[in-house]
Amino acid sequence: MKAKLIKTEHVIDGKEIFAVELTNNQGTYVKIYNYGAIISNFVVKNALGDSQDIVLGFDDFSGYINDDYLAAYPYLGAVIGRYANRIKNGKFNISGKAYQLSQNIGSDTLHGGYIGFDRKVWDILPALGPSLTLQYVSPAGEEGFPGNLTIQLTFKLTAENELILDYKAETNEPTAINLTHHGYFNLATNGGNISNHTHRMPASYYLQQDDNYVVTGVKIPVEGSQYDFLGPKLIGSNWDDQEGYDQTFVLDKEPGELTLASETTEESSGLKLSIYTTEPVAHFYTAKYLAVNNGKKGKNYGPFEAFCVETQHHPNAVNVPEFPTTVLLPGEIYKQTTIYKIEHQ
């Protein structure tokens, strides 16, 4: 495995933007920017022997900061923080103290606020080797969150075609944290609608959402519903083709256990993407709101042309005492691991 540092021509907030390329001896190539910790390329050999990029993005970094892209911002390939998904009314209490966050989607907070970790320039830590470690220090009060939070994210590409994401964070005062990665995947050789991908998730429950997609705290059994992915099925087999999927699934697992979150295959490429995580839930999103012009090779990306599996803690858990806590205290270390493993069927 090798890592290569590439300087771009871009400077944001006085910091240079770099790309880091990770490669292994199976022909797999991953490119990551220190802006937003964006995975911009994830190129693998498919079952036909061809190199295929399985994530949506741009050929050049400038696409990620283009005004048109930011106006319909889908968080392509970025890390999400401080808090993934939605927080009701942008409010929470810790130890009796109330906090008001930025309300960037109606009255709620989405993906950390107006400018989350997805649009920050991360520091590249020394000892660049077969892995890459990025660090971001989020100051107290950023988007309304308490505490100085130091986050490190390590990317490692293995010889077994696993891309491992290891997260670690510490705080100097109690705060809320829920990190995830927002990769948009398409395993088909020519892209397009992902309804013909076969998908499986070991999740017996999904979480109820209100009209603004905020999790309410109620768990609903998947049995007998379109949300039942306990056995493999085509994504489009019984979905609402106007809505697709945008739900959080509670994984059948023990807390902290590194187990399968999802398994997705596609016939034309013969590829299988297995995602493993220590996190308790995975948000499955089929990109209803995707609208991106001039993506890779000039392609436009539209609704249902990708799927996301966002491994995380329960959304809005900071307001739902019954959910596993997302409060991090001084002296504690936040840790999570998510693995993207590529194989042939």
Q: Which of 111, 142, 181, 182 is catalytic?
A: 182
Q: Which of 197, 266, 310, 313 is catalytic?
A: 310
Is 310 annotated as catalytic?
yes
d(CA 224, CA 233): 14
Burial class (CB in 10 A: 0-12, 13-18, 19+), 138: buried
d(CA 168, CA 184): 23
d(CA 315, CA 309): 14
What is the token pair recorded at 202? 């070991």
Q: In the chain, where does DSSP find H-type helix? A: 67-71
- Name the nearest CA neighbour of 311 among 279, 274, 287: 279
> ∠ at Cα 216 (214, 219), nearest 5°?
120
Strands annotated E in 186-294: 198-200, 205-209, 215-221, 233-234, 246-250, 259-266, 271-277, 281-285
Report whether 99 contacts 93 (CB < 8 A).
Answer: yes
d(CA 240, CA 142): 38
Residues with a catalytic annotation lie at: 182, 310
